[in-house]
């Protein structure tokens, strides 16, 4: 597997930094995990957006799905698509209300939605069974601690594993998903403080503790908010986890 960061700015895009989005490649299959503000621009520097094979959403806050409407426009209105997009509908996996929420984001009113049915170019799937196969990847999704229907995921391919927390406060699901993984991609929105709201986000210390509890081999910190001290988040995580720790950067790649 190869993980490439499209965007990693937490909660909102930052200066020159898209919000959350990741490209996961395995056996030539391309899965985009989250599609936040600015990620379609980043994706186009790596591949033709027609060449992605599936999209997965951890949850549907705007910083994780805002550019999906742009992808819909790209696939619908591109003047010279390499094939008829209606004949190769793109698989989209996510929370139970994904189809309705994304259609509403794309088309502002019911009459437009009636004439522009996204299901003609996208095939929507809700997380259901504990594990699903998406191309060559085995994907396990589990509910995490966030104010909306939000999932962390575990990806397995050819004996290698990675986990992604999505957005979450500390919870057992993250430890379970990340158990023994080769790489944990963990959100670390803010620095550690006793007055942070519960069931919302992780601090650098909490992300490091999750990696330690799970026995993950390496930790990549992401979703650091533009107003957060990145160096402090990294230092916290390194205090709590003895393995290699990196701060995600747009365009960074990790072989797993």
Binding positions for Zn ion, rule: CB under 5 A: 61, 63, 167
> What is the spatial distance between Cα 228 and Cα 59, in angstroms, rounded to a whole number?
22
Rounded to the nearest whole angstrom, what is the least distance from the CB of residue 223 to Zn ion in the complex? 6
Helices (H), the chain: 39-44, 62-65, 68-77, 98-106, 110-115, 172-177, 204-214, 230-240
Nearer to Zn ion, 58 or 161 (CB): 58
CB-neighbour burial class of residue 112 (10 A; exposed 0-12, middle 13-18, buried 19+): exposed
> What is the spatial distance between Cα 54 and Cα 119, in angstroms, rounded to a whole number?
14
Nearer to Zn ion, 95 or 135 (CB): 95
28: left (phi over 0), alpha (psi -120 to 50) or beta: left
Nearer to Zn ion, 17 or 121 (CB): 17
Rounded to the nearest whole angstrom, what is the least distance from the CB of residue 254 to Zn ion in the complex? 20
Rounded to the nearest whole angstrom, what is the least distance from the CB of residue 245 to Zn ion in the complex? 20
Nearest to 39 by CA among 26, 53, 49: 49
Nearer to Zn ion, 8 or 26 (CB): 8
Rounded to the nearest whole angstrom, what is the least distance from the CB of residue 189 to Zn ion in the complex? 7
Rounded to the nearest whole angstrom, what is the least distance from the CB of residue 168 to Zn ion in the complex? 9
Nearer to Zn ion, 167 or 236 (CB): 167
Rounded to the nearest whole angstrom, what is the least distance from the CB of residue 138 to Zn ion in the complex? 25
Beta-carbon contacts of residue 100 (< 8 Å; ≥ 6 apart): none
Nearer to Zn ion, 75 or 146 (CB): 146
Rounded to the nearest whole angstrom, what is the least distance from the CB of residue 19 to Zn ion in the complex? 7
* Phi, psi for residue 61 in degrees, rounded to 5: -70, 150
Nearer to Zn ion, 148 or 231 (CB): 148
For residue 54, the SS3 value is strand
> What is the spatial distance between Cα 12 and Cα 24, in angstroms, rounded to a whole number?
22
> What is the spatial distance between Cα 189 and Cα 173, in angstroms, rounded to a whole number?
18
């Amino acid at each position: 597997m190869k993980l490439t960061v499209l965007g990693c700015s937490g909660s909102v895009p930052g200066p020159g930094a898209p919000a959350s989005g990741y490209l996961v490649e395995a056996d030539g299959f391309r899965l985009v995990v989250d599609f936040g503000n600015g990620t379609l621009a980043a994706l186009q520097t790596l591949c033709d957006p027609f060449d992605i094979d599936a999209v997965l959403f951890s949850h549907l806050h705007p910083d994780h799905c805002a550019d999906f409407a742009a992808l819909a426009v790209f696939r619908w209105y591109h003047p010279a698509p390499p094939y008829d997009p209606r004949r190769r509908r793109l698989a989209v996996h996510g929370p139970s209300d994904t189809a309705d929420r994304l259609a509403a984001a794309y088309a502002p009113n019911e009459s437009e939605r009636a004439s522009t049915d996204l299901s003609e170019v996208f095939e929507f799937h809700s997380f259901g069974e504990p594990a699903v196969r998406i191309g060559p990847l085995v994907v396990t999704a589990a509910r995490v601690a966030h104010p909306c229907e939000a999932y962390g995921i575990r990806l397995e391919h050819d004996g290698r594993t990675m986990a992604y927390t999505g957005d979450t406060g500390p919870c057992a699901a993250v430890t379970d998903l990340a158990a023994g993984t080769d790489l944990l991609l963990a959100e670390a929105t803010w620095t550690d403080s006793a007055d942070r709201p519960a069931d919302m986000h992780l601090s650098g210390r909490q992300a490091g503790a999750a990696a330690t509890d799970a026995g993950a081999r390496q930790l990549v910190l992401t979703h650091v908010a533009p107003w957060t001290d990145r160096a402090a988040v990294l230092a916290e995580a390194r205090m709590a986890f003895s393995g290699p720790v990196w701060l995600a950067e747009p365009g960074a790649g990790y072989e797993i």
